[in-house]
Amino acid sequence: MATADLVLSLLLLFSSLPSSIVAKDDPGHVNVSVQADYVVARTDGNFICATVDWWPPEKCDFGDCSWGNTSIKNLDLSNKILRNAITAFGTMRVRLGGTLQDQVKYTSKPCHEFKAADGDSNYEFIDGCISLNRWDKIHEFFNTTGAFITFGINALHGRVKGHDGVYTVAEAPALQCMHESLSFSDLASSSLRQGNELCGNGGKSNFLVDGNQYGLDLIAFKAMLIDEYAKFGGPPKVAAPGGFYVEDWYKNMLSTSGYGVVDIVTHHVYNLGSGGDGNLVDKVTDPKVLDNIVPTYNEVVGTIKSAGPWSSAWVGESGGAHSSGGKGLSNTFANSFWYLDQLGMVSRHHHKVFCRQTLIGGNYGLLDHDTFVPNPDYYSALLWHRLMGTGVLEASHDGHAHLRSYAHCSKNTPGGVTLLLINLSDSITFEIEINGGTKSYEREIRSRPLAKDDKDQSNREAFHLTPKDGDIQSTVMLLNGKELMLDGKNSIPALDPMVVEASDPLRIAPRSIAFVKLKDFNAAACR
């Protein structure tokens, strides 16, 4: 009995201790520090980007045919969910293109479908085309939904494949194809991209076009753009090369093309490996796997700085797992661990835009390829777009590696800061104390006198994201405990925050994600 009384006394004593004392040995208590005196990077105002590809319904991977009618050629532009999903962003960047863009011809006549290729081709499908009539419909759709378009043009037409597998240029046909593409892209495109995955270690093949030759082609293309768009006040931006990063190839391209030719340097990222990998769920919750792409981000920025400092860096395509994504992963809540972490990481590493493969199509679509209903990553992207401003802040913490933390200036809120907190752990609830430099944000809020009209400024807006029934492989996401569903008119649901006192405890449950908006952080970098 005496022993029981002693244990009870110790428990009561322990529970009465201040949290600052208990927290020293508590793995769940974490200090998150935000350096808000200056920004460490800036993103584009339309950082969120998604792709629409060319793949026909016959495209299958690992026995799964997940594309249906989602391509540039056959996507149902009258679908109300599709329209609502894009317009919910206000402005959204959409890249039109993909692997088969280098097999597309442009014509004013009715078009045939892609043909299945034989074994000697680098491509699964060949000899595609798009009609001017179809392009007019695409142009009208994206123009009326407020999208910014990056259009990928054919960069292989007119080239001859050498014995080494590298395509050399046949100048007249190649330039003719470029010229034909302009009649399609016209003023609908804010940027144009020549070719897809014609370089690098991955994709269809290595080095389909030599880096120096590609640079020469870009010079001719830029000159053509300047001439064609002179009467419209200037050409769209040139994005290149849209491939897997290889340092020497990228340096040769930039050095050969020279000053001001390439406006945007794009590279592709599939750092989770194959969509057929049975360990994808483990990968998206493993901090080491998520971090494995950081050296590439740094190297791309370093190459631009040394060989093309007039250019900016974009991730031009990334779906996490390649080959149409991972079935049972890419369209589920779990994928937001990877997706949102990459958005935070790439913005911190001086990239202006991140293009998600895909808006719709494959298993990695933001929208379901059959029903068009938003998958969890759609809501993750929309929350990022609405909450995270262009100013990137340094965020760090003293806790477990399974907590990921990122901070930006809040969008349209001078002085405000928005945190993105991702809990990869399946067992630890993290209790967060936020520090601005050396000061505790919560303690400062408690002691700060409020003006009469500033009462709401002491509130914290929280957007807690969890999976339905606690199953991270669920295709249904909950926001503050409420299931996110389309309404009866197929409209995107409201994404309302949970509003609490800023000084209240902030807890991030296991295997969950939170955006936290601090309107009164008074960040000097965000005013």
C-alpha R_g of the chain: 25
Do the domains 43-391 and 18-40+393-526 match in fold?
Answer: no
- Mean pLDDT for 396-414 is 96
Q: Give the model confidence (pLDDT) of 24-77 as tens digits.
A: 346 689 999 999 999 999 999 999 999 999 999 999 999 999 999 999 999 999
Is the pLDDT at 419 greater than 60? The verdict is yes
Distance from C-alpha of 344 to C-alpha of 44, rounded to nearest angstrom: 13
Query: Which DSSP symbol is given to 453?
Result: G
Active site residue 197: yes
Candidates 125, 10, 109; CA nearest to 67 is 125
- Mean pLDDT for 159-169 is 56
Beta bridge partners of 314: 266, 353
Q: Name the catalytic one among 124, 317, 433, 461.
A: 317
pLDDT for 445: 55
Domain spans of the chain?
Answer: 18-40+393-526, 43-391
- Mean pLDDT for 360-387 is 99
The average confidence (pLDDT) of the chain is 88
- Mean pLDDT for 151-166 is 70
Query: Is 366 within 8 Å of 375 (Cβ atoms)?
Result: yes
Query: Is 295 within 8 Å of 246 (Cβ atoms)?
Result: no
Distance from C-alpha of 271 to C-alpha of 461, rounded to nearest angstrom: 32
At the topology level, CATH places domain 18-40+393-526 in Immunoglobulin-like (2.60.40)
- Mean pLDDT for 201-207 is 53
Q: 190 falls in which pLDDT band (50, 70, 90)? A: confident
Active site residue 483: no
Query: Is 369 within 8 Å of 67 (Cβ atoms)?
Result: yes
- List the single range of 45-59, 154-168, 391-405 with lowest mean pLDDT: 154-168
Omega cis (within 30) before 358: yes
Q: Could you tell me the maximum CA-CA distance found in the chain, to the nearest angstrom?
A: 96
Omega cis (within 30) before 241: yes
Query: Is 49 within 8 Å of 353 (Cβ atoms)?
Result: yes
Q: Give the model confidence (pLDDT) of 232-289 as tens digits.
A: 778 889 999 999 999 999 999 999 999 999 999 999 999 999 999 999 999 999 999 9
Q: 185 falls in which pLDDT band (50, 70, 90)? A: low
Instruction: Answer with the residue of higher pLDDT: 124 or 367.
Output: 367
pLDDT for 286: 98
For the chain, give the percent of residues with pLDDT over 70: 83
pLDDT for 448: 59
Distant-in-sequence, close-in-space partners of 319: CB < 8 Å, separation ≥ 6? 270, 325, 330, 356, 357, 358, 362, 364
- Mean pLDDT for 130-146 is 90
Instruction: Answer with the residue of higher pLDDT: 389 or 110.
Output: 389
Candidates 239, 154, 230, 132; CA nearest to 189 is 239
What angle do helix axes 132-144 and 171-185 make, rounded to 10 degrees?
A: 40
Distant-in-sequence, close-in-space partners of 312: CB < 8 Å, separation ≥ 6? 44, 263, 264, 265, 304, 351, 352
Distance from C-alpha of 311 to C-alpha of 328, rounded to nearest angstrom: 38
Is the pLDDT at 462 greater than 50? The verdict is yes
Would you call 391 helix, strand, or coil by DSSP?
strand
Is the pLDDT at 414 greater than 70? The verdict is yes
Q: Name the catalytic one among 197, 433, 442, 461.
A: 197
Is the pLDDT at 506 greater than 90? The verdict is yes
DSSP letters along 131-185, please? EHHHHHHHHHHHHHTTEEEEEEE-SSTT-EE-TTSPEEP-HHHHHHHHHHHHHHH
- List the single range of 202-206, 320-324, 438-442, 503-507 with lowest mean pLDDT: 202-206
43-391: CATH architecture: Alpha-Beta Barrel (3.20)
- Mean pLDDT for 189-210 is 75
Q: 370 falls in which pLDDT band (50, 70, 90)? A: very high
Q: 21 falls in which pLDDT band (50, 70, 90)? A: very low
pLDDT for 109: 85
Q: Give the model confidence (pLDDT) of 73-113 as tens digits.
A: 999 999 999 999 999 999 999 999 999 999 998 888 888 89
Instruction: Answer with the residue of higher pLDDT: 17 or 309.
Output: 309
Q: 160 falls in which pLDDT band (50, 70, 90)? A: low
pLDDT for 199: 87
pLDDT for 513: 99
**Chain centroid to CA 477: how far?**
18
